[in-house]
Amino acid sequence: MIYIKPNQPDPRVIPHQQLPNKTLKFQERWFRDYPWLHYVPNAGGVLCFYCMEAFKKQVSPLAKSMDEAFVSTGFKNWKKAIEKFAMHQQSQAHKVAMTTYTHQQRSVETQLSTAREQQQREARSCLLKIIKSIRFLARQGLALRGHESDEGNLVQVLEDKAEEDDVLKQWLSKPTNHYTSPEMQNEILNIMANTVVRTISSTLHALPTLQFSIIMDGVQDFSGSEQEAICLRYVDGDLLPHEDFMKCHLLQERTWLGWPLMFSCG
Ligand SMILES: [Zn+2]
CB 154 within 8 A of CB 160: no
Centroid of ligand 1 to alpha carbon of 57 (angstroms): 14
Centroid of ligand 1 to alpha carbon of 147 (angstroms): 66
Give pLDDT, residue 24.
92
Residues β-bridged to residue 249: 228
Per-residue pLDDT for 244 more than 70? yes
More confident residue, 31 or 63: 31
Number of H helices, E strands in the chain: 8, 8
Centroid of ligand 1 to alpha carbon of 34 (angstroms): 10
Centroid of ligand 1 to alpha carbon of 163 (angstroms): 55
Give the CA distances from residue 47 to residues 38, 65, 75, 263, in Å, rounded to whole numbers and listed in that order: 5, 15, 6, 74
Centroid of ligand 1 to alpha carbon of 96 (angstroms): 9
Centroid of ligand 1 to alpha carbon of 210 (angstroms): 77
| Cα dihedral across residues 146, 149, 151, 152: positive or negative | positive
CB 85 within 8 A of CB 30: yes
pLDDT, tens only, 39-52 = 988 888 999 999 88
More confident residue, 46 or 173: 46
pTM: 0.55
Per-residue pLDDT for 197 more than 60? yes
Rounded Cα gap, residues 237 and 235, in angstroms: 7
pLDDT, tens only, 51-106 = 888 887 766 566 566 778 888 889 999 999 999 999 999 998 898 888 888 888 88
Centroid of ligand 1 to alpha carbon of 33 (angstroms): 14
Rounded Cα gap, residues 156 and 174, in angstroms: 17
Sequence-distant (≥ 6) Cβ neighbours of residue 76 within 8 angstroms: 15, 17, 44, 45, 46
Centroid of ligand 1 to alpha carbon of 91 (angstroms): 8
- Assign 232 to helix, strand or coil: strand
Rounded Cα gap, residues 183 and 176, in angstroms: 15
Write the single-letter amino acid at 238. D
